Amino acid sequence: MKLELHGLSVRYGRGRNLMTAVDGIDLAVPAGATVGLVGESGCGKSTVARAVVGLVPTSGGRILLDGVDVTANRVRNRPEFRRRVQMVFQDPYASLNPRMSIQAILKEAAARADGSRPRRAPAEMAELVGLPATVLGRYPHQLSGGQRQRIAIARALAVNPGVIVLDEVTSALDVSVQGSVLNLLRDLQREMNVSYVFISHDLSTVRYMSDTVSVMYLGRIVETARTEDLFARPQHPYTTGLIDSVPRLHAPRTTAPLAGDLPDPRRPPTGCRLSPRCPVGPLHRPDREICHTTDPQSIAAQKVHEAACHFAVDAAHAVVPAP
Residue 44 interacts with ligand ADP (CB under 6 A)?
yes
DSSP E strand boundaries for the chain: 3-12, 19-29, 34-38, 60-65, 68-69, 85-88, 163-167, 195-200, 212-217, 220-226
Chain mean position to CA 279: 25
We find the least distance from the C-beta atom of residue 62 to ligand ADP, in angstroms, to be 19
Nearest residue to Mg ion by CB is 46
We find the least distance from the C-beta atom of residue 166 to ligand ADP, in angstroms, to be 13
Helix, strand, or coil here: 32? coil
User: For residue 9, what are the β-bridge partners?
Assistant: 23, 60
Stretch that binds Mg ion, among 37-45, 100-108, 116-124, 308-316 (CB under 5 A): 37-45
Residue 36 interacts with ligand ADP (CB under 6 A)?
no
We find the least distance from the C-beta atom of residue 60 to Mg ion, in angstroms, to be 21
CA neighbours closer than 13 Å in the CB half-sphere of residue 257: 8
Packing angle, helices 175-192 and 145-158, rounded to 10: 10
Helix, strand, or coil here: 64? strand
* Residue pair 231/243 in contact by the 8 Å Cβ criterion: yes
Q: How far is CA 166 from CA 89, 100, 293, 300, in A?
A: 6, 23, 36, 26
Residue 13 interacts with ligand ADP (CB under 6 A)?
yes
Which residue, 47 or 239, has its beta carbon nearer to ligand ADP?
47
Residue 46 interacts with Mg ion (CB under 5 A)?
yes
What is the x/- site pattern for Mg ion, positions 194-213, by CB under 5 A? --------------------
Residue 21 interacts with ligand ADP (CB under 6 A)?
yes
CA dihedral 237, 242, 247, 253 (to 10 degrees): 10
Rounded to an integer, what distance in angstroms lies between the CA atom of residue 239 and that of residue 309?
Answer: 11
Rounded to an integer, what distance in angstroms lies between the CA atom of residue 89 and that of residue 95?
Answer: 7
Binding partner at 13 among ligand ADP, Mg ion, none, C-beta below 5 to 8 Å by kind:
ligand ADP
Which residue, 46 or 239, has its beta carbon nearer to Mg ion?
46
CA angle 314/304/48 to nearest 5° reads 100
Among 14, 15, 16, 41, binds ligand ADP (CB under 6 A): 41
Among 11, 45, 273, 310, binds ligand ADP (CB under 6 A): 45
Residue 47 interacts with ligand ADP (CB under 6 A)?
yes
Dmax over Cα atoms in the chain, in whole Å?
67
Residues 248-267 that bind ligand ADP (CB under 6 A): 265
Residues counted in the chain: 323
What is the x/- site pattern for Mg ion, positions 130-169, by CB under 5 A? ----------------------------------------
Chain mean position to CA 124: 28
Which residue, 38 or 274, has its beta carbon nearer to Mg ion?
38
We find the least distance from the C-beta atom of residue 206 to ligand ADP, in angstroms, to be 13
Which residue, 19 or 65, has its beta carbon nearer to ligand ADP?
19
Residue 269 interacts with ligand ADP (CB under 6 A)?
no
Residue 170 interacts with Mg ion (CB under 5 A)?
no
User: For residue 214, what are the β-bridge partners?
Assistant: 37, 224
Residues at the interface with ligand ADP (CB under 6 A): 12-13, 19, 21, 39, 41-47, 265
Residues at the interface with Mg ion (CB under 5 A): 45-46
